[in-house]
Amino acid sequence: MTRLPLQATRFNRLQRRVVTALVGGFRGSWRRRSLGLLALLLGLYAGNNLTAYWLQKLGQRPLVVLITVLLVELLVRLRTHLVKGQPALAWVMLDNLRIGVVYALMLEAFKLGS
């Protein structure tokens, strides 16, 4: 028994776009995938150490988080203006680094309950 081809409905197109967006990070060359994953993990590591180090030095965790969020927002705005279409490897690494830092900050906030 063969499967019938799916009709090109709006929901089917949406499903394909979502799957392409989710799996898109795992496509490409070995170099692109490994550098993207390393950037994500380095962002997580930097975000964890950033809050711990600055908390000991400054004692102002909200100030550290505010500065970090402002820098992340600046990176997002800069990327949307400069990159059109398929981003280069450097932009993918910068995005993954940013995602790792934001995830670390949110995880730290969840651990503290604030």
pTM listed for this prediction: 0.69
Residues in the chain: 114
Averaged pLDDT, 80-89 = 82
Contact 32, 92 (CB under 8 A): yes
Distance CA 15, CA 24 (A): 14
Instruction: Say what the alpha-carbon torsion angle 84, 23, 95, 10 is, to the nearest 10 degrees.
Output: 50
Domain boundaries, the chain: 29-112
Contact 105, 47 (CB under 8 A): yes
**pLDDT per position as a tens digit, 35-76:** 988 999 999 998 888 777 776 776 666 777 778 788 888 888
